[in-house]
Amino acid sequence: MMVKKGKAVPVDATVQEFIDLSLTQHEAVLYLETRPYNRAYEKIRKLVDKLRLSPGDQRHVLVDLFDHPNPQVRLNAAKYAHPLFPEESIQVVQSIIDAKKYPQEAHARSALDYLMFGPLPENDGCPALLT
């Protein structure tokens, strides 16, 4: 579904759906269920696109989720709010790592690298190895 730039979205309902989908991912990670996690991921991406393309780039509402009690909600909010709030997002991800709450800690570690340094450079189609 394409969202045209400038189309307003009901932000409260979108944020609640973001939370619900993040909680679905949390459950899926706990029980090693890939399909529900991936379906929720795709739906979250579409929600974030709606927020981004809405007048005024409504992704700023995700900052309100930085204090959510669930680590998956906080992690998702930080990843998607990062373009607007890079320092705050990195702090949220670091706090998840510091709390040592598995499995989100592992996801937060890879997310932190990406948020701080961007994607790994590629060399001839092969991902670069970290040394």
Domain parsing of the chain, residue ranges? 11-118
Residue 100 CA to residue 104 CA, distance in Å, equals 8
Q: Is the pLDDT of residue 2 over 90?
A: no
Residues 6+ away with beta carbon under 8 Å from 129: none
Q: Which fold has domain 11-118?
A: 1.25.40
Q: Is the pLDDT of residue 47 over 60?
A: yes
Residue 45 CA to residue 64 CA, distance in Å, equals 18
Average pLDDT, the chain: 87
First to last CA, the chain: 41
Q: Is the pLDDT of residue 96 over 60?
A: yes
Residues 6+ away with beta carbon under 8 Å from 60: 81, 84, 85
**What pLDDT does residue 37 have?**
96
CA dihedral 114, 36, 19, 47 (to 10 degrees): 70
